[in-house]
Amino acid sequence: MYADRAENAQLWDVEGRRFIDFAGGIAVLNTGHLHPKVTAAVQAQLARFSHTAFQVAAYEPYIELCERLNAAAPFSADAKTILLTTGAEATENAVKIARAATGRSGVIAFSGGFHGRTLLASAMTGKVAPYKRRFGPMPGEIFHLPFPTQIGDATVRRSLDALAGLFAADVEAERIAAIIIEPVQGEGGFHVAPTELLQALRRICDEHGILLISDEVQSGFARTGRMFGIEHSHVEPDLVCVAKPLAGGFPLAGVIGRAEIMDALDPGGLGGTYGGSPVSCAAALAVLDVIEEEGLNARAEIIGAALRKRIEGYRDAGLPVANLRGLGAMIGFDVLGTDGVPDGTAAKAVCAAALEEGLIVLSCGAKGETIRILVPLTASDAIIGEGLDIIERSLTAVAGFGL
């Protein structure tokens, strides 16, 4: 379908068909399509100027946004922020910062993790197809641990044993600059990083002088019911990567870090022509206002509870769903095949059936087996209920065809 116009959690295509949006531009539209406050802020900025390049001629929206992000940082130390353009830039710059601050080069990531599509980001991403296949050798000194999905034998103990094995067999801890992890995996299937794992990583990082990077590109800005997903664990990271929902549909990303770490960089060592676009900064400031004024953290918890109740109802009614999981309004569940095993083909069929009925919803997971719900946090209860009705009918149809 080709978009023509959109409003909050609804979208109309060029043929005039209406769709409910449970994808949110892939976790971008926490404040919905064209929130009036965001639109007004963008229009006001466009009446002044659209671009200077911050390093050529600085501007107040960049400074104000950094100050607000510093104040919101999920750690107790003083913070500093650099603004960029994309999530992949955020994760790559976080690695550059960690390497400069520690004088080390190694990076540890997790299977199933997604950190972007540029070369270093692809190397950190814990999935070959389609992110690494045919793109040649990946950058070196990137190591992966199994992520504890809590399904089968994918436990925290297994992950920590693998880390101990990595330090014993492949690389000394003193060569690792950073460990990067998503508090809730996005493309990897909406698996929540257990608090036990995050606490252990924090302890190991402190013991060996390693920096802990929280990739909040998909889980940030009220999606999980907190400003940042890692706040649920009360574990403090050293660096935080942000992007997607920060600017309400405009390209903007950043790295928030402990000031003493960020100060390790040489002047001019980081940057980019479009990093911290004044238009995007204006949008982001409005997004932060909307999150606060409309209570979107609390709204995410309410939406999440409603989603869980309905999805549990699907399961109780005998529909092919399992492994309900997530935080706040970042909710996913697996679709089962006829053999009772999570199945990517079945999940894809559910998404296709839903689209035919007027609902945009996405799959994810190691084999595409997970339906993920990223409805705007500004959506009405009625719209959310309508979308959930479509999911129920789509699950019923797919089960009826024996897929």
Three-state SS string across 111-127, please?
Answer: CCCCCCCCHHHHHHCCC
* CATH number of the domain where residue 348 is located: 3.90.1150.10
Least Cα distance to 125 among 191, 200, 56, 180 occurs for: 180
* Pairwise CA distance, residues 81 & 269, whole Å: 14
Assess whether 218 and 273 both reside in one domain.
Answer: yes
**Structural domain for 288, as ranges:** 39-293
Q: Does one domain contain both 153 and 133?
A: yes
Q: Quick check: 232 and 183 in contact, CB under 8 A? A: yes
| Full DSSP string of 224-285 | TSSSSGGGGGT---SEEEE-GGGGTTS--EEEEEEHHHHTTSPTTSS--TTTT-HHHHHHHH
Cβ contact 36:402 at 8 Å: no
Quote the pLDDT of residue 153.
80
At residue 216, the 3 state secondary structure works out as coil
**181 and 243 part of one domain:** yes
pLDDT at 400: 72
CA-to-CA distance for 97 and 2, rounded, in angstroms? Answer: 40
Same domain, 148 and 55: yes
Q: Which of 250, 251, 231 is nearest to 240 (CA)?
A: 231
* Structural domain ending residue among the three candidates 267, 293, 319: 293
Statement to judge: residues 189 and 167 lie in one domain: yes
- At which of 229, 261, 293 does a domain end? 293
Query: Do 108 and 133 share a structural domain?
Result: yes
* Residue 227 contacts residue 192 (beta carbons within 8 Å): no
Query: Helices H, strands E: what count in the chain?
Result: 12, 15
| 205 and 104 both lie in a single domain | yes
Query: Consecutive 10-residue runs of the chain (403 residues): their mean pLDDT?
Result: 97 98 98 98 98 97 98 97 98 98 98 96 92 89 94 89 97 98 96 97 98 98 98 98 98 98 93 97 98 98 98 96 97 96 96 98 96 98 98 92 59
One domain for residues 192 and 138:
yes
Domain harbouring 246, CATH code? 3.40.640.10
276 and 167 fall within a common domain: yes
**What phi, psi does 89 have (nearest 5°)?**
-60, -40
343 neighbors 402 (Cβ within 8 angstroms): no
Total of domains in the chain: 2
Cβ-contact 209, 102 below 8 angstroms: yes
Whether 267 and 302 map to the same domain: the answer is: no
Closest CA to 323 of 344, 341, 348: 341
pLDDT for 402:
58
Query: Using the 8-state DSSP alphabet, how is residue 374 labeled?
Result: -
Question: Which of 275, 293, 311 lies at the terminal end of a domain, its last residue?
Answer: 293
Place of tokens 């080069």: 105
In angstroms, rounded to a whole number, what is the distance separating the alpha carbons of residues 78 and 294? 27
